[in-house]
Amino acid sequence: MELLQTLNKEHDELRQGEVFSDATQQDQFTKHFYIESYGCAMNFADSEVVASILAKNGFGSTRNIEVADLILLNTCSIREKAEQTVRKRLTEFRKLKTQNPGLLVGVLGCMAERLKSKLLEEEKLVDLVVGPDAYRTLPDLINDAGTGQKAVNVLLSRDETYADISPVRIDSNGISGFVSIMRGCNNMCSFCVVPFTRGRERSRDAFSIVAECRDLFEKGYKEITMLGQNVDSYYWNNPENNSSTTFAMLLETVALISPTLRVRFSTSHPKDITDEVLFTMAKYPNICKYIHLPVQSGSTRVLQLMNRTYTREWYLAKVARIKEIMPTCTVSSDIIAGFCTETEQDHQDTISIMQAAQYDYSYMYFYSERPGTLAAKRYEDDIPEEVKKRRLQEIVDVQWTLSNESNKRDVGKCFEVLIEGDSKKSDAEWMGRTSQNKVVVFPKLNHPVKKGDYVEIFIAGFTKGTLLGTLKTN
Ligand code: SAH
Ligand code: SF4
Ligand code: F3S
């Protein structure tokens, strides 16, 4: 029992969560799978594609690991710690598997792609290893694994986008939905494993994207986040008439589905976000005024080693352009502390670029060398761990101050908030987000509003990462 409790417990600092619609024993399925997803939003979206493929092949979903015939981990390789978390989880499953010899355990996603059949050898109790472009073959692989054969498919594809697969929504609040618009990445940032685990960049058929967004809207969703490692380089050529669709055009088409459908996107590479995209954002009130624009480092020398293709000055000019076109737009970033050869001066440059860009929020990491990447081949991982950690802490502290200042600027103002559900702390409060992607909490009192409504909120204060407000009544 204790083991099951451990296995079922919510955990981990990664965006991790088991999925979903509580099928369990009462549904029409005779077999059930349990899936946990790690890493980026694209991995979470892929789990929804996997759920759809499995549902068509007789597997219902369950969030109760006890009744699962198949356990899947959709894994991330971005940093070593992400892989360690998965390995730990696999050892936890080991006992369960000895108790239930028919149980199959599969590893999906980026770690499957990176380690390939090595995973079967290293983790003796893994039965399936399936890379991100091979999910259509899952039903066959499950059959193979069920008869004791080696079940591995880690072939990457140049054209797979799962465009025709209608994802089964997982762990969704019924208000915000994620839609993958492209796969892979061609950028080759030297620190990054993604081009190796996800393969070449390819854009999904624009019609299928718009149809999926429209379908979500018709089902009551109020917010779409378009996903890709580098959404601004979205480019789809229609084979029927040879016309092409850019990201700005796609953004506009999705925004036009309805003015009451919010549109977001992630992630933007600073080198690819165009004025056309910024003007499209400015033109439509329902395109959220928030851009995640990872800088990685504030030092031009380090940026060059990272192969980011922009300089410090170029990046800051891009942020200035965003604010010029959309003065209310918030900007967030990803930052890596302690990349190869980083000096104290380089680190100070990162701190000063954060201050100059006035990030409203940042995701901050220390550098973790990934085997096979350009940086691992070319540069020595020469910054001692304690230095990396100290620099990271300084970066976190700076961001803390910047986020507080950003929140302070919002106090006394009104924002349109989309209600996503109850606040985490209390069901006497609603939780929602502003267009700028800030979380807002406000008391329900007896106001006749509900999840999915847009409301005007007056911001009276804030705590940590949350704005505190009151509903404006007319
Ligand atoms: N495609 C996105 C980010 C994908 S990975 C982009 O280009 O911005 C998310 C973040 O993880 C990266 O922005 C980077 O900050 C961080 N990251 C990637 N590889 C890393 C590594 N080897 N060590 C530490 N952080 C890393
Ligand atoms: Fe990795 Fe760079 Fe591609 Fe982002 S753009 S996924 S950081 S290679
Ligand atoms: Fe991780 Fe793969 Fe996403 S490495 S960040 S799950 S693309």
- Atom 3 in ligand 3: which residue has the minimum CA distance? 40
Residue from 43, 114, 187, 229 to probe ligand 3 pocket by mutation (most atoms less than 8 Å from CB): 43
Q: Are the beta carbons of 193 and 370 closer than 8 angstroms?
A: yes
Intra-chain end-to-end CA distance of the chain, in Å:
54
How much is the average pLDDT of 359-379?
98
Residue from 110, 135, 182, 266 to probe ligand 3 pocket by mutation (most atoms less than 8 Å from CB): 110
| Index of the ligand 1 atom closest to the CA of residue 373 | 22
Instruction: State which CATH number among 2.60.40.420, 3.40.1160.10, 3.30.499.10, 2.40.50.140 fits the domain covering 414-471.
Output: 2.40.50.140
**Is the pLDDT confidence value at 11 over 90?**
no
| Index of the ligand 3 atom closest to the CA of residue 111 | 4
User: Which tokens sit at 437?
Assistant: 């992607």
Confidence at 13, pLDDT banded by 50, 70, 90? very low
Please tell me the distance from the alpha carbon of residue 432 to that of residue 323, in angstroms, as a whole number: 24
pLDDT (tens digit, 9 = 90+) per residue, 185-222? Answer: 999 999 999 999 999 999 999 999 999 999 999 999 99
Q: Is the peptide bond before 267 cis (omega within 30 degrees of 0)?
A: yes
- The answer, yes or no, to whether any atom of ligand 3 lies below 6 A from the CB of 39, is yes
Residue from 114, 187, 198 to probe ligand 3 pocket by mutation (most atoms less than 8 Å from CB): 198
User: Which tokens sit at 247?
Assistant: 């990201």
Q: Which amino acid is at 366?
A: F
- Atom 1 in ligand 2: which residue has the minimum CA distance? 192
How much is the average pLDDT of 100-106?
92
Using DSSP bridges, classify how beta strands 262-266 and 290-292 pair: parallel, antiparallel or unpaired.
Answer: unpaired
The predicted pLDDT at position 26 comes to: 60
User: Which tokens sit at 372?
Assistant: 């096979």
**Is the pLDDT confidence value at 40 over 70?**
yes
User: Which tokens sit at 238?
Assistant: 């229609």
Please tell me the distance from the alpha carbon of residue 354 to that of residue 351, in angstroms, as a whole number: 5
Q: Are the beta carbons of 373 and 192 closer than 8 angstroms?
A: yes
How much is the average pLDDT of 446-473?
95
The predicted pLDDT at position 464 comes to: 83
pLDDT (tens digit, 9 = 90+) per residue, 235-260? Answer: 999 999 999 999 999 999 999 999 99
Please tell me the distance from the alpha carbon of residue 290 to that of residue 282, in angstroms, as a whole number: 11
Q: Using the mean position of ligand 2's atoms as its centre, give its distance from the Cα of residue 96 in Å.
A: 36
How much is the average pLDDT of 35-41?
96
Q: Which amino acid is at 104?
A: L
**Is the pLDDT confidence value at 110 over 90?**
yes
Distances (CA, A) of 445 to 52, 250, 429, 442: 40, 40, 8, 9
The C-alpha angle 76, 102, 72, rounded to 5 degrees, equals 15
Show Cβ contacts of residue 367 under 8 Å, excluding neighbours closer than 6 positions.
Answer: 191, 336, 337, 338, 339, 340, 342, 381, 383, 388
Q: Which ligand is nearest to the CA of 198?
A: 3
- The answer, yes or no, to whether any atom of ligand 2 lies below 6 A from the CB of 192, is yes
Check residue 100 and report its DSSP letter.
-
- The answer, yes or no, to whether any atom of ligand 2 lies below 6 A from the CB of 230, is yes
- The answer, yes or no, to whether any atom of ligand 2 lies below 6 A from the CB of 189, is yes
DSSP string, 365-409: EE----TTSHHHHHS---S-HHHHHHHHHHHHHHHHHHHHHHHHH
Q: Which amino acid is at 81?
A: K
Residue 153 host element (H or E):
strand 151-153
Fold match between 289-410 and 414-471?
A: no
Q: Using the mean position of ligand 1's atoms as its centre, give its distance from the Cα of residue 78 in Å.
A: 7
Cα torsion angle, 245, 248, 249, 250, sign: positive
- The answer, yes or no, to whether any atom of ligand 3 lies below 6 A from the CB of 277, is no
Using DSSP bridges, classify how beta strands 454-463 and 414-422 pair: parallel, antiparallel or unpaired.
Answer: antiparallel
pLDDT (tens digit, 9 = 90+) per residue, 259-292? Answer: 999 999 999 999 999 999 999 999 999 999 999 9
What residue spans define the domains of the chain?
22-153, 172-287, 289-410, 414-471
Closest CA to 406 of 458, 331, 473: 331
**Is the pLDDT confidence value at 21 over 70?**
no
Instruction: State which CATH number among 3.40.50.2300, 3.30.70.20, 3.30.750.210, 3.40.50.720 fits the domain covering 172-287.
Output: 3.30.750.210
Please tell me the distance from the alpha carbon of residue 203 to that of residue 153, in angstroms, as a whole number: 22
Q: Are the beta carbons of 347 and 387 closer than 8 angstroms?
A: no
Domain spanning 22-153: CATH 3.40.50.12160: yes
User: Which tokens sit at 262?
Assistant: 């919010």
Please tell me the distance from the alpha carbon of residue 365 to that of residue 367, in angstroms, as a whole number: 6
Q: Are the beta carbons of 410 and 458 closer than 8 angstroms?
A: no
- The answer, yes or no, to whether any atom of ligand 2 lies below 6 A from the CB of 273, is no
CATH code for residues 289-410: 3.30.750.200
- The answer, yes or no, to whether any atom of ligand 1 lies below 6 A from the CB of 365, is yes
pLDDT (tens digit, 9 = 90+) per residue, 396-434? Answer: 999 999 999 999 999 999 999 999 999 999 999 999 999
